[in-house]
Amino acid sequence: MSHTLNGIAAGGGITIAPVYVMGASSLAAPNKVADDENHEAERLRDSFSLINHDLRQIGDQAEAEFGRPIMTIRTLQTVINDPAVRQLAMDMLIENHWTAEWTVEQLVDRLQKLSTIAVSSPFWVGVVHDLGQRLLSHLLQEPIPDVANLDHRAVVIAHSISPTQVVRLDRQLVAALVTDEGGATSHFSLLSEELAIPSVVATHGVTKYAHDDMVAIVDGIHGKVILQPSPQEIDQYQKMAGQYARENSALGKLKHQETRSTDGQRIRIAANMSLPDEINTITHSGAEGVGLFRTEFMLMEDARFASEDAQFAIYKQVATAMPERLIVVRTLDIGSDKLVQDASYDDGNNPALGLRGLRLGLAHQELLRPQIRALLRAATYGKIAIMFPMVTTLAEFRQARQIVDEERQQLTDEGIKIPDNVQVGMMVETPAAVTMIDQFAQYADFFSIGSNDLAQYLFAVDRTNSQVVPLLQTLHPAMLRSVLHVIRQAHHEGKWVSLCGNMAALHVAEPLLLAMGLDEFSVPSDHILPLRHLISGLSVRQLQPLLHQALALENANEVEQLIKHSLPELYQAEQN
């Protein structure tokens, strides 16, 4: 008898294959107190050196495989190479008389707590855990599970999969990936989307039911896993997989057309980007620009931030690749945990509410100003827009705009010509920004709604805490009303609005966003053509009654059922 589990779709289509269950990595320190501190310190130094060597090899392998560096591997290398992190570990060991293993555990705990400051990072907690397990593996002389050991084509099922494991997998053998844990913004989800491997995360128990002699269907489109499927289910999903392949082929025709609704409304579908090397994929994806270029990971080479000239070269590379398309670059959206030279920084009991995003940029203008100068210089080679993250007050944004004006004038005085039409906008991620959007519109050229952070702050939910995550409802009428308010107020002042984050790629939310008059969706590259196809079959005018009904409902579940009932042709496969 078949067993169906629901999770979060992480992309890649549909596949049917035998199961391979990969064991969990859960190494732990056996002892706390050291007999010989000097010996333990030497063991710890050796472990750092060995793991650093291993990570270089994995990084080289990943770059050869993917044609570009992988941000999570870069981040691992950054952390393990940072002198402040190594010194912190040694100080903890010596001061507390700990073993090397216990020190690693406490270091991981310390770094993960710091990491919550940068709540926009979907990678950090997994990266730090992976680093800790690798160090413990060396110290304890015990292997950790490795997907690279797979010797036949299979669906890989695991409690969780680390970034280093993902980049080492053989795409000829890994038919699909399924995990107990994870989320739509986790490092694993984003990498698996990029790899186009059918993947489902957050099944909350697949490892309890799966074993190696099973067959599994993995539906990475709708977030379903079927263990031991019946012949009828296999036949059904084989047909769905064929249909998915045919539809993807047909979608390619949309690349050379503007995105318009059936009643003629023009909407831009842009791509999210985290590394400059992704621009080649994006240019072939059908994207009509880049709606969110994240820069924080790119700027952490060798545990330090890139120079102005190094940043300029990167922005120029991206701008020249898409000279006629708008590239929206978000300035550093980091928390003080990413200032690795200050690993002892303490941001209080609520780090998600601390010094991060634009707040940090204004407090550390030695980071912000070189980035602004590099962006202004690169704007000569294409259409670059500057966007500030985590803005809460008018004073913050006016100060940020003043810095842009000052750096523009300084560059002009240096004889560097800067285009006059460089747009300067802001992320809308806090209730304060939502309620004051009419006043922000007097100063900002555009807005980008960061749906992940906005939902977190709107519902007062820590999205890393599984106990309260169910309260974070992207489709809740409170969220819908907030988004609509931003769009209406911005349009009243003649400003355009984009939306990035999970909501933009949420199939059931997209008709509502279209009805609201959203100007741009910014989504992962593999969502671009399906979204353009969806919009080309919908009418903004005819969706208005549906939007009004949704706004009057009480919760997200009611909204979802309303959309699926009203537009059954779009969601029929999800309801099967």
79 within 8 A of 111, measured Cβ to Cβ: yes
Residue entry with tokens 């770094």: 111
Q: Was 266 annotated as part of a binding site?
A: no
The angle subtended at Cα 255 by Cα 288 and Cα 298, nearest 5°, is 45
Q: CA dist 226 to 6, 7, 153, 231, 452, Å?
A: 9, 11, 17, 12, 29
Q: Is 260 annotated as a binding residue?
A: no
Nearest of 540, 566, 559 to residue 478 by alpha carbon? 559
Determine how β-strand 446-450 pairs with β-strand 424-428.
parallel
Consult the annotation and say whether 294 binds a ligand: yes
Q: Which two tokens stand for residue 433?
A: 């920004």
The yes-or-no answer on residue 500 being catalytic is: yes
Alpha-carbon span 164 to 54, nearest angstrom? 10
Q: Are 292 and 272 in contact (CB under 8 A)?
A: yes
Active-site pick, 159, 500, 507, 527: 500
Q: What is the DSSP string of 429-481?
A: -SHHHHHTHHHHTTT-SEEEEEHHHHHHHHTT--TT-TTTGGG--TTSHHHHH
- Does 36 show up as a binding residue in the annotation? no
Q: In what order do the strands lie in the sheet with 154-158?
A: 3-6, 224-227, 215-219, 14-22, 154-158, 174-179, 199-201, 8-9
> Does 330 show up as a binding residue in the annotation?
yes
If 0-12 CB within 10 Å is exposed, 13-18 middle and 19+ buried, where does residue 172 land?
Answer: exposed
CA–CA distance, 277 with 297 (Å, rounded to integer):
13
Query: Within the chain, how many helices (H) and strands (E) appear?
Result: 23, 16
- The answer to whether residues 525 and 287 touch, using CB atoms and an 8 Å cutoff, is yes
Which helix (H) or strand (E) element contains residue 311? helix 308-321
User: Is 429 assigned a ligand-binding role in the annotation?
Assistant: yes
CB neighbour list of residue 253: distance below 8 Å, 6 or more residues apart: none
- 187 in active site: yes
Q: Where are the beta strands (DSSP E) in 232-374?
A: 268-273, 290-293, 326-330
Q: Could you tell me which residues come within 8 angstroms of residue 10 by beta carbon, excluding any fewer than 6 positions away?
A: 177, 182, 184, 188, 189, 192, 193, 199, 200, 201, 220
First to last CA, the chain: 18
CA distances from 271 to 274, 339, 381 (A): 10, 28, 19
Secondary element (H or E) of residue 87 = helix 83-96
* The pairing of beta strand 14-22 with beta strand 154-158: parallel
Tokens representing 109? 């705990």
d(CA 321, CA 340): 32
Question: Which residue is catalytic, options 159, 187, 507, 527?
Answer: 187
Q: How far is CA 563 from CA 78, 506, 508, 568, in A?
A: 45, 12, 7, 8
Pairing of strands 154-158, 224-227: unpaired
Pairing of strands 154-158, 199-201: unpaired
Annotated binding site for phosphoenolpyruvate: 294, 330, 452-453, 463
Instruction: Just list the catalytic residues.
Output: 187, 500
User: Which residues are known binding-site members?
Assistant: 294, 330, 429, 452-453, 463
Q: Which residues are annotated as a binding site for Mg(2+)?
A: 429, 453
